[in-house]
Amino acid sequence: MSNYDHKYEYKNMYFGPYIYHCKLDPQFCKDLLEQGDKTTDRYLQEDGTYTNQIIKDSLAGDLKTGHERQFDGKQQRWFNKSLKDVFTHYTKERMNFHNYIFVPDYVIENVWINYQHANEYQPEHTHSGDFSWVIYLQIPEGMKAERENYKKKGPGPGCIAFSYGETSGNPDVTFPWVTNIHMGVPEANEMYIFPSQLKHAVPPFKCDGVRISVSGNGAFQRPDSKLYVMGEKRYEVW
């Protein structure tokens, strides 16, 4: 034992990306799933023309055509209105995490739904904008057992794996000095919000069933800025 009177003060050093994790109202998630199921390859717009909500080759996922679908403007505005309190709370917490005094407003860029089946996956990628999210609406019953029986290194089947910074070395020969991978285990009615620039991936799974999630991108907005995408003003916060 030492005779010195050391003071063991523990202080968190907030360093690295901020990942927000919350539970959503089950009724909202049920309504959100219904909105996703309404997406179609022939949607009648307000101007009388038709558009295709089926996303082809514009997202990173290795999913069969028809398993990724874009929300239309009306659905997106409903989504934004329904989650305004969540996104506002996230923005405040993220700014506080980085000791940033100014809390910006935000706008939603886009929203889409993923119907991920067995052997489909999302390779490591990033998004556009300032923040992105994933909401889990349905998880296959066999996915939990599949993860528990997964003996290989790395994220388990159907998880979301966030990666940041350098690797911590080979754990078999050295001690880790940094945690650079966070594995999120999807649960129905839960949501993750994370920086759009943060790399993330979803490994494939083999069990029966469909892993349904809703993702999208948002951007922070300063009072003196104007945000446009492809010539069209982004949807405002309600």
What is the tens place of the pLDDT at every residue in 79-130? 999 999 999 999 999 999 988 888 888 989 999 999 999 999 888 999 999 9
pLDDT of residue 1: 59
What is the tens place of the pLDDT at every residue in 197-213? 999 999 999 999 999 99
Residue 152 has, within 13 A of its CA and on its CB side, a CA count of 6
Query: Rounded distance, CA 177 to CA 155, Å?
Result: 19
**DSSP string across 28-96:** HHHHHHHHHHT--SSEEPTTS-EE--B--SSSS-B--TTSEEE--HHHHHHHHHHTHHHHHHHHHHHHH
The ranges of the chain with pLDDT < 50 are: 228-238
- Which residues, other chains included, contact 207 with Cβ-Cβ below 8 Å and sequence gap of 6+? 118, 140, 141, 142, 143, 145, 146, 157
Beta strands in the chain (DSSP E): 20-23, 43-44, 50-51, 68-70, 105-116, 122-125, 131-138, 160-163, 181-184, 190-195, 199-202, 211-221, 228-229, 232-233
Q: pTM for the full model?
A: 0.84
